[in-house]
Structure 1
């Protein structure tokens, strides 16, 4: 669950585009990384890629101010996704604090950009899988661009790898992830960051390993932030994103296992400097916060050998029932992802509760990545998509209470390590009380918890505002220093 951006005028756009239509690229004006919103500079120097990450709270505030100042009147046919009208896009931007013109331009660019540098057949599951979870199946060199115009290529070495994991039903699955190693790193990695991404969509094309090579991965801001601090980074795709099988959106077990098995597998990747002694931090925001928390709850049973020394979980949807119930019509796409996932996991046919239009919308959004899905369904009343005019909350009540409850977080034991919970008081997707309650739960269990609330406007604003504090927490915990304990005030 996530999105961002602001735009500047580029002075160095390519004059030829043999690999994608110029109309979309030119419409971007500057490289727009959407999802969590990141303004990119126009320089082509990779060494300056880290400079785009907000390093202080004042920089984060300026970033959000710039984002809020974007003008939707600049949108035209060339800068809007093909299946969305210009009027629809303008209305979504004008009526929402979450979506901006750069987000719309990003979604348009995503339609026309080529696949990542990883060969398409790389994502095909081998005929047989080993018994060991976390076993590496194959790997391929990949690329990490920070913008869809491909002006800024990060100088980190990028390797995408496939590994074996197991889904909630006990079925062997292949999943993918990407290892990024900072330029100049050599020898044993003392520490590394494992990033669980926010909502990408549920289509294979939305997998982070694919999008990083296209310059359209919004988690690029978090990846660049960790690389700037010289930490190797592992970015997880999750089961069913990019690879064979269904991606069950915010499934606690499958997300957690994807994260833990990626952390195991990266130790076997050729060229990896991460081994069993490397200190690991698990990090994620929104759906990524859900996956990070799930991994913490599963680690003792699933991967006790991993040297996890800290974790950062932001805007965690601990209670999916409450999250779906509280979503406004701006975020109908998130509810559709959730309901479709619940239906698949329980064997319920969506035609049992969705009307013809509802089934059509589910089919469309299942093939769209986050921004386009949000735009195409913005302000859609869920009651117009159901057979009897029920709300999605009523649909969940009638069909999916059990599966939603199985995804609840905060009830299981987690490792005794420093924990950071960050959440904006102004979050408009996941209620602030869910983050505060998670922090309080961990405090009551005797953990040292740093609870960093902020006033970043909207769900995205909370992410950007938290970044400087996340890196401070990371540096301190990797150095063996205890973070400030917030339990006294929760």
Structure 2
């Protein structure tokens, strides 16, 4: 496997020790992982355009030997043996992911000023009102070799949480290089699971080169679509980010789409066709926004939507999680407890409380590594499973996050899901597509055989862009309802 070594070696001789350990596979990001002879400056253009390219990218992710991992290429809170075991026993994590998480520990602060995320003393009554904005940057790698040419602007806007409280949230507008005048169309991207700590907000991570959604963002920008990347309520700004909260996610997305029309320099206005797009947690947020749009933001010009690996039923998703993904369950437990006003000490033992607190401060990859193969029952007071904990404490909260029960706009819909997804059951994606078909919508259901949750994400990208191009051009997508 060829690697872009020339420019990388120039950086590594001067950078911190962990950046010196970063391999070429890791340098272009968690899901991107582009190993190519092309110069790093051009790697931003190398998103998979065909299914064969996507398959090659997935193969490249898994190609490196876990025995190459050493102390300098593993995060501080994880032992070398623990990291090697995680890579060997699951296809979801690769050596590049481990090295990438380690490199994050030595990175400088985000290019966005810290005080930008402070909420103003008073907020306007109008949801979607812009509060402030600042120039930002979009890097595809943590040593900042691969800066995307898109113009990047982070902005803060007003939204409302599930309890009716006025909240400030943030998002990023990326405008393709060379764009001028009115934007005929734009993509509103809801990111997958980032973590629940403020430092994990996509607007912060894009400026640091650590945002794994970079591959999807770059894919949309390559098609010359402006992109709005949503941070969600409480992710970056004050207050708790309520992981997978249907109402707060949906409102964050819709109000970001409203607010971007007011951003100075934005070419998006009320006539711009919008596509809502997201995968995993992002698929959950996209679907939630579709279900809330009629009542919350009926004026938005939504032209289509793409929702991938949507966890429509959190109870079934958590019940089926393997111990590789304990971190996802811990994110949920922490934020469910906050929403229910329950102290986690009511059901977690001392070890469990410690691990939940530590995980809450870690972004996705490091959290997965540090908790991989942790038995949830070893963290509870009475040896209960996380499913038992939900039954006893959070049934109502989990029920409120159910998707597929409400009307959605009459626009073309794409549902993509890997049959080999090991996080969100494939049946949930297929059932969502079937529900929308029964309601009379035009639905393209694109299943694939991408291995694991991440593999399904990468494999879906070429089909998403084809769907996007067709629907923005006013052409109907292939309808899958006849086979569902």
Report the TM-score range of the alignment, normalised by the length of the smaller protein: over 0.9
Q: Which residue, 424, 428, 434 being the options, matches 2:428?
A: 434
Aligned residue for 2:256?
262
- Aligned pair 1:373/2:364, yes or no? no
- Aligned pair 1:179/2:170, yes or no? no
Aligned residue for 1:13?
8
Given that 1:40 and 1:147 are in contact with CA atoms closer than 8 Å, whether structure 2 keeps it comes out as: no
Aligned residue for 1:64?
58
**1:23 Cα offset (Å):** 1.1
Q: Mark the runs of 5 or more structure 2 residues left unpaired by the alignment.
A: none
Aligned-partner Cα distance in 1 for 2:40–2:55:
25
**1:49 Cα offset (Å):** 3.8
SS of aligned partner of 2:167: strand
**1:114 Cα offset (Å):** 1.1
Given that 1:21 and 1:112 are in contact with CA atoms closer than 8 Å, whether structure 2 keeps it comes out as: no
Q: Which residue, 214, 227, 240 being the options, matches 2:234?
A: 240
- Aligned positions of 1:389-408 closer than 5 A: 389-408=383-402
How many correspondences in the alignment?
483
Aligned-partner Cα distance in 1 for 2:2–2:165:
45
Q: TM-score, normalised by structure 1?
A: 0.96
Aligned residue for 2:108?
114
Aligned-partner Cα distance in 1 for 2:27–2:372:
20
Given that 1:40 and 1:52 are in contact with CA atoms closer than 8 Å, whether structure 2 keeps it comes out as: no
SS of aligned partner of 1:138: strand
- Relative to structure 1, the CA distance from residue 189 to residue 40 in structure 2 (aligned partners, 3 Å threshold; closer, same or farther) is farther
Aligned-partner Cα distance in 1 for 2:246–2:97:
28
- Aligned positions of 1:7-406 closer than 5 A: 8=3, 10-13=5-8, 15=10, 22-30=16-24, 31-39=26-34, 41=36, 46=41, 48-406=42-400
Aligned-partner Cα distance in 2 for 1:345–1:384:
24
Given that 1:8 and 1:41 are in contact with CA atoms closer than 8 Å, whether structure 2 keeps it comes out as: yes
Given that 1:33 and 1:218 are in contact with CA atoms closer than 8 Å, whether structure 2 keeps it comes out as: no
CA RMSD of aligned residues (A): 1.5
- Relative to structure 1, the CA distance from residue 342 to residue 35 in structure 2 (aligned partners, 3 Å threshold; closer, same or farther) is farther
Q: Which residue, 449, 452, 472 being the options, matches 2:446?
A: 452
Given that 2:443 and 2:481 are in contact with CA atoms closer than 8 Å, whether structure 1 keeps it comes out as: yes
Given that 1:192 and 1:274 are in contact with CA atoms closer than 8 Å, whether structure 2 keeps it comes out as: yes
- Relative to structure 1, the CA distance from residue 33 to residue 406 in structure 2 (aligned partners, 3 Å threshold; closer, same or farther) is farther
Q: Mark the runs of 5 or more structure 1 residues left unpaired by the alignment.
A: 1-5
Given that 2:194 and 2:200 are in contact with CA atoms closer than 8 Å, whether structure 1 keeps it comes out as: yes
- Relative to structure 1, the CA distance from residue 487 to residue 162 in structure 2 (aligned partners, 3 Å threshold; closer, same or farther) is same
Deviation by residue 1:102-142 (Cα, 9 ceiling, x = unmatched)? 00011001111112211000000000000000000000000
Given that 2:16 and 2:106 are in contact with CA atoms closer than 8 Å, whether structure 1 keeps it comes out as: no
**1:17 Cα offset (Å):** 7.5
